[in-house]
Structures are given as structure tokens and as C-alpha cells.
Amino acid sequence: MQKISGTYSSLALALLFSSSLALFGCSSSPDEAELKQLDDLKEETAALQKDVEGKEQEKGALDKEIADKNAKLSKCNGDQQLVKQRLGK
């Protein structure tokens, strides 16, 4: 009988020791509201990243458009000189 009670008390001690280690040995976890805050922040940055990509694309298209217009303007100025020469002949 004494042997059985010794075994139980040892088991209880082991459980108490390990549970206290598991509960207090590590730091605490964030609560639901905090986790939601992090998720919202992640969503916000993802949307911003998408926005940046869209704007970079738009900027690229505008750069090309401007290069084309500059080329057109340059050609027009060259054409003016050529026409003046042809008219002079």
C-alpha cells in the first residue's frame, strides 16, 4: 500500500514540475486582437506593394511615351530643316 502511494506521489510531483515548466518556462503568446492587428498590417503592406507595382508600371509606360514624343519632336524639327532646304532649291 505504501509502495503504491509512493508511486502516485512521485507521479504527482513529476506532473506538477513539468506543468510549471511548460506554463511558466516560456514567454506568453499574443492575444486574438494582437494577432488580428498583425494580419491587418500584413494585408495593408500587401496592398501597398501592389500599388507600388502598378505605379511603377504606369511610370514605365509614361517614360516610353515621353521618349516616343521626344523622338517625334526631334524628327519634326529635322523635317522642318529638310523642307526649308528643298524649298530653297
Query: Residues near 63 by Cβ (< 8 Å), separated by ≥ 6?
Result: none
Least distance (Å) from other proteins to the CB of residue 1?
14
Contact positions vs other proteins (CB under 8 A): 3, 6-7, 10-11, 13-15, 17-19, 21-23, 26-30, 34-35, 37-38, 41-42, 44-45, 48-49, 51-52, 55-56, 58-59, 62-63, 65-66, 69-70, 72-73, 76-77, 79-80, 82-84, 86-87
CB of 28 to other proteins, least distance (A): 5
CB of 72 to other proteins, least distance (A): 5
Any idea which residue has 502511494 for its cell? 5
